Amino acid sequence: MRALGHDVVETRERGSDPGDKTVLQWAADENRVLVTMDKDFGTLIYLGSAPHAGIIRLPHVPARERLALIEQILAHHAPEQIEQAIVTVRGTRVRISRAKPPKPR
pLDDT digits (tens, 9 = 90+) for 72-91: 999 999 988 999 999 998 87
Please tell me the total number of residues recorded for the chain in this structure: 105
Are 10 and 16 a contacting pair, CB within 8 Å? no
Does the model's pTM come out above 0.85? no
- Return the amino acid letter for 26: W
Indicate if the pLDDT at residue 21 is higher than 90: yes
Q: What is the pLDDT of residue 27?
A: 95
Buried b (16+ CB within 10 A) or exposed e, 42-79: bebbeeeebbbbbbbbbeebeeeebeebbeebbeeeee
Q: What is the pLDDT of residue 7?
A: 92
- Of the candidates 50, 49, 54, 48, the one whose C-alpha atom is nearest the C-alpha of residue 36 is 54
Q: Stretch 43-53: mean pLDDT, rounded?
A: 89
Q: Kind and range of the H or E element at 96?
A: strand 93-97
